[in-house]
Structure 1
């Protein structure tokens, strides 16, 4: 280790200018001063290199914004989260392992002062000052986050690495640097005084001239006493108040190295031989005799939870757990730490302790001493119980070593040596009778005759007086009620039958039975009702070994796994005062109240609690996210503070740490993943969570701490991340898929329709072919048959005409009409036959037929028939219905022009343009009244036929002539063609 070298360097670093003032290390090591609490063992928890501390010589301690402790040593730097240490040395970037000072800066900055200057850790890496020749012996950060340091006896702004002159003296020597409770910077300048930084200016604190002669090595501004400042110097401890300086606590002669104030206002001073705890009432010297160490204490630090940490030179790091209890064990002189009995001693103020290693006496501020028992029997030194009777006699019971009594003068055996009885418990009833519980049953003892009288033969445990004539005996098979020292009756209490009764306590109308099976059984004497308190109710263990009612009425319960307190008003468990509850196994009936303390015998010594324990102000834990790891190996990307991951890297491990330095083992976690489950999980001790196969989406992981005492963390740590969907899971892709499906459906529908259309056309084609054949055959048959008949009529009419007299004009006129009608019928059938012929189903055939009809009709008249047909060389096939209706409309129009219009010119035109067919018949006749003509059959039939083929028919007539216009859509023509 670096003990001598380190002390030498620290002395020369702080006050190298002191010529002739040397520290006598031999004197400091040999001198030891102990005050109140001489033989008690206090509760310190030690952390050394076995626990992960990088080196055992602690020089400085600080705490970052995540509440982690940073501990500097002469072998590197350690970061402590309550459960494990993370070490940093030169191999990880430090300029030197010989570290002397620490301070927490802004954000996650940690400033390190070492033998090679200044270094800074930003949470990821170290940056080192270029000046490596000057030692940095002190560091402090103010409330604004500016860090200052002492380097080569001068003050520097560490953040800017700039020299600061405080007193306008370029040769000034700065000996101490400290931040007070409000974040204000204080410095001590040798020969000048004490300064503090106020709004950017150094202000000299007014004190008497004595301050200029002192070498101030440490400063503490008292938080509870305004204007009170503590100084540590090589000459001792000084307090400055009301502008005067006084030396105090002259009894502390060891060199004082460090000073701190805890949450209760008490002062802690680290010296070259242990530490001192100073309150307004007492001074306690913590050293190796009461649970601490005799080594040099270089640093004392109060964390945000009000824990006190002590850094030593060679023994590592200590934490003072609490002062709600103290312990007496073999380190204070008890040969066996298994203390089986406790009672008030025969001398005022003394406590006697019985163990399996003998009998001991404790007196305030004195060492525990062994009490000699006048017996050669080893069993006489194994104490089962201690009991104080009404005459202040102290009784001892042993397992085979006799029954003893101390009357204030001497210790004598009360039974005979021939009686090998194991005495387990004792009481004195209100009548003065001594009752003993033994392995041979329940006995009474006559003090005068020293005679034992048996009451029961069953193995006995606890004893309790229920009334003036009744005693309850606890056995391994329930409780027995003894009345008038004769009648023995089993107590038939629900849940008590068959139980092993270890202890009993009467409280008002209740009897409390401590069992080894069912916990605590509470029996109401008047009503017979019972109530159970066990591990399900919150009791530390179902093995109840001792019961006591203190002065305040609180019931103390010693169990197999700790100590509980019960409020007797409703028999509920009182929550522990601190998370630092002891896990100890208590011993049967080893419990005593003395003054304001409760003494409890355990397998780890005697635990002493205060009846009025001061409740600690509980500080909530803190939690932070350690890391987010993605598997397979993938370096995550952050977009606007959100972790963004591809769909194939959706296996995530999130590690987190809850900081509760008071009791790290009490930390449990509750977490949730918003986006999958909005409910927090049940408490668990796992400090990481694995999520596998997370579906795409936005998530926020949240975790908080809950302690076993129900204390939640002050914050909830969270990390937001997003799993990006695969291309096939994006909305755009899904949109295209939907569109594709729709198009596919439409295509399928189209295919189906096309197939149906094809089948329809095929059927239509077949139908048309059949119709074509039928029409052709019909036309041929009709032509041949009707022609033959008409020819025969014509021939017969000619024969008849040859037979009629030429002068018979009447008959010849009839024959002429017959021939005329035959000709008209023949001409009419020509149109029918023409229509039935499939070869005439085209548009040009229909129009040409109308033209031919018109020319034929005006052959023997002076009327001029003009025509103009322009179909743009397009062949358009028409259905039979379409061609027939167009033909009949214009035949009727031509007929009307010849019969009624008295026209000179008839103009017939047909134009096909852009799919629209316009057919016009125009004459220059006398015209007619269209509205009146609509009532006629001919005109009406024309409109009906136009409607039948979805065509627009318009007839315009005036004095200049008549125009008939028929507008047919080509698609309509196609529809009628395919219909």
Structure 2
């Protein structure tokens, strides 16, 4: 790139682009002795007044008060562990990012350090070689000469150490042994002060000596540049193989076929260059003795400003001059010509100071130059003479001049749009509106741009306002036509593209990548690229797809362009700005720069106080402490994370995008802020990631990240949640248990009350039934006896009827006794029931030849029975006893009752002749017995054969209780 610039612009006295940093910018001292770069890509600069660390935006300085053993710093090196080694007038020190360590073995002048492989660092102290990778140093002998004097050290591309030993030659460290590389007599007499091992040509070595520059190649040692460079103080080879040399006055750039000398006249310095350093982004840095540091900016342009002869840096217009190799520059301090490596003023014959305020220039088809001023008139340069065209009109400011295809000259001014007729030279007003730009889009079709939109002028008199989106109300500063597309540069809406065929309108603004929405100039070059001069730099646009062409180094030139001040000449683009004329060489392809690097400086952890209205800083984690996961309690959930991006190519173009995994799903929008606050983070595991990127979209080659965990409070832990869940379940179970017990108590209480009421009712009913029905039956019986006594003894028929009445009354009375017995509550026990059945059997078999026996075994169980249970059991066995007496023809009947395992078994056995159970099942007696057994959930078994009959009833005693409870509930619900 430098070669192309030098060869393409060698006829001009241009200023090369160097970024300069000195004590005004924060550098600790201006006498720089060494430059190096650490793993975070920060520059470390050694000076004779201390140590500086530079991140592209800020210097951090260290001195003796900060822990250095001396401010007189001479050399620097960074090993593989990122430890910084510092050589000073008082020996060797090391810095680990927190503190300085001083080596006691080297307390003398240490003026050279290089880092080898395996964390080993080599250095020179009093011209003796030493090495270290621990807390101590070890002296190294190269040539076996105990008095050897090592004059310089360097490393090659592979990290191998090279050394120059006075009177012995050049050596390299091969493994653990030093091998002689150059040992001829010629080199033994040289005091070598600098070495460079060529990266591209094998066995090619550059030697800087006290007597000049020498080159060793193919076993030959030759002197180089003896007539140009008297003393070289530093040497470097860039990524393309070019050589950079520092001298006692400026610096040199040497390629295979070109050389450039940098000094104060073309943007550099005349001071001694002590160090040249190439960083990870391939930027070239120069450390000077008294002028601080410089960075060469090889972005393909040079500048013409006051340092080259312009009287004013504000270049308002640029045109080709009358001569083929001439450029005219219009400024606010007059008109200037650039020709034959010289800039000269061109005077306009006028005493009016406003004549020097050149606003616009135009070279017409006749090779004449039109000069429009701000209040100084409109001038025409014809045949080496100036002539005023506007007849001394004052207060008119020319903003744009254009020649149409009929060679008429159009003027856009603050008082309207005018046209100078090509033939008559008469000036006629076309429009009274303020004009700022002009564009011809076809025959007799001119667009004039104003501060309030654009107007189409047809046939020099028909004026029509362009009514489409974004143009109306916009201030039109520049216009350009390419095919069917018309480009409008506005002062507020960016670039507007109008397709005259389809009528579609497209807008490009800062949201799409423009450096500014103020568009001052537009140019279509020969390569089909549209150059856009904005208020904050220069953009390029692909004319085919209208996409912005992004620079691959992100090094955008921050300048304010001027309106319509743009020109293409000989593959060079001239752009007028407020900082002079910027000249881009259009054949140069931008060099590929490195990517940014980002790292996290610190993480501050804050917690909320008891009042909850402010945060208290608890602890700050530094860079090295962030390499492992951080665990924080739940109340330390306010984080402030600081990070730094390093992009030395263009630090101002750097932005950041970040996310917090665990809270965010995507990266944030790019922003310039280098810190982020997270407040009230919930407990959990998080990973904070940050990337740096440039405005042109180049992302950092790494992603910086830290991991931290916020532990939940005890009441949010899984164990506590399980415990609470168990407690809740136990409470629910306990509540259900209590409710069930309460309901059961209420049910029992209601049942007790109900049973007591039933008891009273049954007792009262039994008494009333006995008294009322018994009296009436007794009266009927007595009346039947009286009637019998009143009937004739011979009237047997009447006496038989009366006897039947008496018998039925007696039977009714006997049946009523069972009902009354059942109704009486005091008989609701198992013992009472069995006793009553036994008494009934004895009464039935009394006076008969049948022997009746009974046997009961209740195991002291005498539980209460329900009325239904008692009544049904009684009726089943009354029926069984009656059938045995009436039909069994037995002479022995046995009644048995026993309780075993809550099961009540009652049996009635006889030794009669038996009966057919199948045929008897259709009778009412057997059916009633089965129905009654089913009512009480009992099991009735009837076994009959010729040996006798057995009727057995089994009732689960608990079932009887449950049945009772169920009936009580049913009774309760019915009520």
TM norm structure 1:
0.79
Corresponding position of 2:210: 234
Pick from 904, 923, 929 the counterpart of residue 918 of structure 1.
904
2:857 aligned with 1:869: yes
For residue 39 of structure 2, give the secondary structure of its aligned residue in structure 1: coil
2:59 to 85, 90, 94: 85
CA pair 604-851 structure 1, distance change in 2 beyond 3 A: same
Contact 2:598 2:691 in 1 (8 A): yes
The 1-side partners of 2:698 and 2:120 are apart by: 33
In the alignment, the residues of structure 1 paired with residue 904 and residue 444 of structure 2 have an alpha-carbon distance, to the nearest angstrom, of 136
- Aligned with residue 131 of structure 1, among 101, 105, 128: 105
How has the CA–CA distance of structure 1 residues 358 and 235 changed in structure 2, closer, same or farther, with 3 Å as cutoff? farther
The partner residue of 2:755 within 764, 768, 775 is 768
Rate the CA distance shift 1:59–1:890 in 2: closer, same or farther, 3 A.
Answer: farther
**Shift in CA distance, 244/439, structure 1 to aligned 2, threshold 3 Å:** same
The superposition leaves residues 541-593 of structure 1 with CA deviations (integer Å, 9 ceiling, x where unpaired) of 56555555545454444444433444444565443464222232334554444
Candidates 297, 310, 316, aligned match of 2:273: 297
The one-character-per-residue Cα deviations of 1:931-959 (angstroms, maximum 9, x if unpaired) are 65872655554444333223445567786
Q: Following TM superposition, by how much is the alpha carbon of 1:813 offset from its aligned partner in structure 2, in angstroms?
A: 9.7
In 2: Cα distance, 1:533 partner to 1:961 partner = 115
> What residue is the counterpart of 2:84 in the other structure?
110
Give 1:70's match in structure 2, choosing from 27, 33, 44. Answer: 44
Residue correspondence of structure 1 range 422-433 to structure 2 within 5 A: none
Rounded Cα–Cα distance in structure 2 between residues aligned with 1:951 and 1:879: 14
Whole-Å separation in 2 of the counterparts to 1:122 and 1:921? 106
Q: Determine whether 1:307 maps to 2:293.
A: no
- Structure 1 residues 139-158: aligned runs within 5 Å: 139-142=113-116, 145-152=119-126, 153-158=128-133
Deviation sequence 1:114-160 (CA, Å, 0-9, x none): 44544444444444444352444333334655444444521313357
Q: Distance in 2 between matches of 1:62 and 1:881?
A: 110
Answer yes or no: is 1:585 the counterpart of 2:560. Answer: yes
Mapped partners of 1:796, 1:420: distance in 2: 161
Question: Matches of 1:128 and 1:37 in 2, distance apart?
Answer: 54
Query: Would you say 1:787 and 2:774 are equivalent positions?
Result: yes
Partner of 1:599: 574
Displacement of 1:430: 9.0
Query: Residue 148 of structure 1 contacts residue 157 of structure 1 at CA under 8 Å; is this kept in 2?
Result: yes
Residue in 1 that maps onto 2:33: 59
Greater Cα shift, 746-755 or 423-432:
423-432
CA displacement, residues 431-480 of structure 1 (integer Å, 9 cap, x when unaligned): 99999888998686999xxx975455979877889999999988889679
Residue 630 (1) aligns with residue 605 (2): yes
Paired residue secondary structure (1:620)? coil
* Equivalent in the alignment of 2:223: 247
Secondary structure at the counterpart of residue 289 of structure 1:
helix
Deviation at 1:324, TM superposition (A): 1.0
The CA distance in 1 between the partners of 2:891 and 2:290, in whole Å, is 139
Q: Which residue of 1 aligns with 2:614?
A: none
Q: CA deviation at 1:200?
A: 5.3
Kindly provide the CA deviation profile for residues 511-565 of structure 1, in whole angstroms up to 9, marking residues without a partner as x.
8776767766778899999887766775555655555554545444444443344
Q: Deviations over 1:622-679 (max 9, x none)?
A: 3333333332144599999544444433333333333322222222233334444423
Which residue of the partner structure matches residue 232 of structure 2? 256
Equivalent of 1:669, from 631, 656, 659? 656
Match of 1:689, SS state, is strand
2:4 equivalent in structure 1: none
- The 5-angstrom pairing of residues 560-959 of structure 1 reads 560-569=535-544, 573-576=548-551, 578-632=553-607, 633-634=617-618, 642-741=629-728, 744=731, 753-754=740-741, 756-792=743-779, 795=782, 825-853=812-840, 863=851, 865-872=853-860, 876-892=863-879, 900=888, 902=890, 906=894, 908-911=896-899, 913=901, 916-921=902-907, 925=911, 932=918, 935=921, 938=925, 940-953=927-940
Aligned partner of residue 778 in structure 1, secondary structure: helix
Q: Distance in 1 between matches of 2:748 and 2:446?
A: 116
Looking at structure 2, the residues matched to 901 and 49 of structure 1 have their Cα atoms a distance apart, in angstroms, of 141
Q: Tell me, in whole angstroms, the C-alpha distance in 1 between the residues paired with 2:788 and 2:438.
A: 164
1:343-382 aligned within 5 A: 351=327, 353-357=329-333, 362=338, 368=343
CA contact (8 A) 2:553 2:592 kept: no
Contact kept in structure 1, 2:838 and 2:895, CA below 8 Å: no
Count of aligned pairs: 932
From 209, 212, 221, give the equivalent of 2:197: 221
Counterpart check, 1:100 vs 2:74: yes
Distance 1:823 1:570 in 2: 126
* Cα 1:164–1:946 shift into 2, 3 Å: farther
Shift of 1:204: 4.0
| 1:48 aligned residue | 22
Alpha-carbon offset, residue 329 of structure 1: 1.8
**SS of match in other structure, 2:655:** strand
Deviations 1:141-193 (A, max 9, x none): 34655444444521313357453746462634443333333444434344444
Deviation at 1:229, TM superposition (A): 3.0
Closer/same/farther in 2, CA of residues 246 and 387 from structure 1, 3 Å limit: farther
Pairwise CA distance, 1:775: 1.0
**340 and 822 in structure 1: CA distance in 2 versus 1, 3 angstrom threshold:** closer
1:93–1:919 CA distance, 2 compared to 1 (3 A): farther
- More displaced 10-residue stretch of structure 1: 77-86 or 374-383: 374-383
Q: In the superposition, relative to structure 1, how do residues 853 and 600 fare at CA in structure 2: closer, same or farther (>3 Å)?
A: same
2-side partners of 1:109 and 1:138: how far apart?
16
From the superposition, tell whether residues 636 and 340 of structure 1 become closer, same or farther in structure 2 (CA, over 3 Å): closer
**Matched position secondary structure for 1:82:** coil
SS of match in other structure, 1:217: strand
**Does residue 138 of structure 2 align to residue 163 of structure 1?**
yes
Q: Distance in 2 between matches of 1:520 and 1:184?
A: 55
Alignment-derived partner of residue 976 in structure 1: 964
Aligned positions of 1:535-574 closer than 5 A: 540=515, 545-569=520-544, 573-574=548-549
Higher mean Cα deviation, 620-629 or 514-523? 514-523
Does the aligned pair in 2 maintain the 1:897–1:903 contact within 8 Å? Answer: no
What SS does the aligned partner of 1:293 have?
coil
Q: Which residue number corresponds to residue 11 of structure 1?
A: none
The CA deviation at 1:698 is 3.9
Matches within 5 A, 1:399-438: 400=376, 414=387
Q: 1:976 to 1:277 in 2, by over 3 A?
A: same
Query: Alpha-carbon deviations, 1:344-378, whole Å to 9, x = none?
Result: 667885655454445555556x5656678888876
The one-character-per-residue Cα deviations of 1:754-811 (angstroms, maximum 9, x if unpaired) are 5554554444334323322221122112222343345445545666777899999999
Distance, in Å, in 2 between the alignment partners of 1:544 and 1:636 is: 47
Mapped pair 1:188 → 2:164: yes
Deviation at residue 745 of structure 1 after TM alignment? 5.0
Of 607-616 and 878-887, more deviation after overlay is shown by 878-887
1:469–1:926 distance in 2 versus 1, CA, 3 Å:
closer
The residue aligned with 1:16 is: none
Q: Secondary structure at the match of 2:192?
A: coil
Aligned with 2:249 (options 273, 291, 309): 273
- Residues 122 and 129 of structure 2 are in contact (CA less than 8 Å); yes or no, is this contact kept in structure 1? no
Using the TM superposition, name which of 637-646 and 806-815 deviates more.
806-815
Cα distance change, pair 389–849 in 1 and its aligned pair in 2 (3 A): closer
